[in-house]
């Protein structure tokens, strides 16, 4: 098998926080010992708790921020220690579509200028590719002379997708790239990413919250909770037979067309308890937790072929009740 296009090995990221101006600094983990491979031509989904470190993983993969510990390999080469000049040619091969499009489009440039930049970097001077890309993202040539502020949220997101694709990258990190799009445009972009993968072997790290979309587009899915990767498995196996209690909870909470929620006032108390640093990050919320769960950190084990789970009790049957 060829080397993975992107390999994240034992990566942690800590931030120092102070209680007040003179308080004692304390370390918080945004990521904790995360390892996974993005295989060539694979679409790897990343889902999980808000604030669990998904965006941080994407930014570390791009070397936009440095890991506190661990290593990142691009096509087998360790890029953790590369200087920014040595990184530059690498950067072009991996493109990020940001979660927040308005933060990534220069408000003073027209769309034409914004979309020409990636082509210029590739030495292309004519605009035929721009026209083709606009058609793919469902926009007309009248967009070209306007500035980002004149577009809706979803239109801006489509423009930033177009810009990333015009770089002709090998790897795309798509950070909630389709969540601002209406379902019809979302379908077009999802199909486009699948086509690019099938035709050109593009590899994609696809971060998202809509489990239907992530399930459909991804070959495998990783699940994150409070800085840890708790499960990673082929999509179908993960949905049909989740083996980590957090994954099962996530799948059960997914909203469905025709479903209704009831009001409630109470906050799940376990959700607010501080994350245990010794034991499993999910222990305080987990109805299956045993004493060891709170004292020793579970390690990733292969619980089924290519299905890895960081749970002491991965033998539990967590299949959703309706299956």
Partner 1 sequence: MTLLAVRDLGVDFGGPPIVDGVSFSMKRGEIVALVGESGSGKSVASLALMGLLGRGNVTGSAILRLNDGRETDLARISSRERRGVLGRHVSMIFQDPLSSLDPIQTIGAQMREVLSLHCGLRGGKAQARAIELLHEVGIVDPQACLKLIPQRLSGGMRQRVLIAMAIAGEPELLLADEPTTALDVTVQAQVLRLLLSLRARSGMGMIFITHNLAVASSIADRVIVLYAGQVVEDAPADAFFAAPAMPYSKALLGAAPGIDSVFGARRLPILRGQVPAPGERGVGCRFAPRCDAMRPTPCQTQMPDLLNIADGENEVHAVRCGRWEELAR
Ligand X SMILES: Nc1ncnc2c1ncn2[C@@H]1O[C@H](COP(=O)(O)OP(=O)(O)OP(=O)(O)O)[C@@H](O)[C@H]1O
Tokens of 295: 């004292």
Smallest distance, partner 1 to C-beta of residue 49, A: 5
Does position 56 interact with ligand X (CB under 6 A)? The reply is yes
Does position 32 interact with ligand X (CB under 6 A)? The reply is no
Indicate the DSSP class of residue 66. -
45 contact partners, CB below 8 Å, separation of at least 6: 206, 207, 208, 214, 215, 217, 218, 220, 221, 222, 235
Smallest distance, Mg ion to C-beta of residue 287, A: 27
Residue with smaller CB distance to Mg ion, 98 or 130: 98
Does position 52 interact with ligand X (CB under 6 A)? The reply is yes
- Partner from Mg ion, partner 1, ligand X, none binding residue 42, C-beta < 5-8 Å depending on class: none
Smallest distance, Mg ion to C-beta of residue 116, A: 26
Determine the Cα–Cα distance for residues 231 and 9; give it in Å rounded to an integer: 15
Q: Binder to ligand X among 41, 154, 234, 237 (CB under 6 A)? A: 154
Does position 15 interact with ligand X (CB under 6 A)? The reply is yes
Residue 261: phi, psi to the nearest 5? -105, 155
Tokens of 164: 């990333």
Stretch that binds ligand X, among 50-58, 81-89, 117-125, 281-289 (CB under 6 A): 50-58
Applying CB under 6 A, what is the total number of residues that bind ligand X? Answer: 18
User: Pattern 109-148, binding to ligand X, x per CB under 6 A?
Assistant: ----------------------------------------
Determine the Cα–Cα distance for residues 152 and 140; give it in Å rounded to an integer: 14
Report H helices in 24-127: 54-61, 84-93, 111-121
């Amino acid at each position: 098998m060829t080397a993975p296009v992107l390999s994240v090995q034992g990566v942690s990221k800590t931030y120092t926080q102070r209680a007040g101006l003179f308080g004692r600094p304390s370390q918080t983990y945004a990521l904790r010992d995360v390892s996974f491979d993005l295989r060539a031509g694979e679409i790897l989904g990343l889902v999980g708790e808000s604030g669990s470190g998904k965006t941080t993983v994407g930014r570390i993969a791009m070397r936009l921020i440095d890991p506190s510990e661990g290593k990142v390999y691009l096509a087998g080469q360790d890029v953790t220690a590369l200087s920014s000049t040595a990184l530059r040619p690498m950067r072009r091969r991996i493109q990020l579509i940001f979660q927040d499009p308005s933060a990534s489009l220069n408000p003073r440039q027209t769309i034409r200028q914004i979309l020409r930049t990636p082509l210029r970097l590739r030495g292309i001077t004519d605009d035929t590719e721009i026209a083709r890309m606009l058609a793919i993202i469902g926009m007309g040539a009248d967009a070209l002379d306007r500035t980002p502020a004149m577009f809706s949220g979803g239109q801006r997101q489509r423009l930033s997708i177009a810009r990333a694709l015009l770089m002709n990258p090998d790897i795309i990190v798509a950070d909630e790239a389709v969540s601002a799009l209406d379902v019809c445009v979302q379908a077009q972009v999802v199909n486009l990413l699948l086509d690019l993968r099938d035709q050109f072997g593009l590899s994609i790290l696809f971060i998202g919250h809509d489990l239907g979309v992530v399930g459909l587009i991804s070959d495998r899915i990783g699940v994150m909770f409070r800085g840890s990767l708790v499960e990673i498995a082929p999509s179908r196996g993960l949905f049909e037979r989740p083996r980590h209690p957090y994954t099962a909870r996530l799948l059960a909470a997914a909203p469905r067309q025709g479903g209704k929620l009831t009001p409630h006032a109470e906050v799940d108390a376990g959700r607010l308890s501080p994350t245990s640093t010794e034991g499993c990050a999910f222990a305080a919320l987990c109805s299956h937790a045993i004493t060891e769960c709170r004292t020793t950190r579970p390690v990733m084990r292969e619980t089924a072929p290519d299905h890895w789970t960081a749970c002491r009790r991965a033998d539990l049957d967590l299949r959703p009740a309706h299956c």
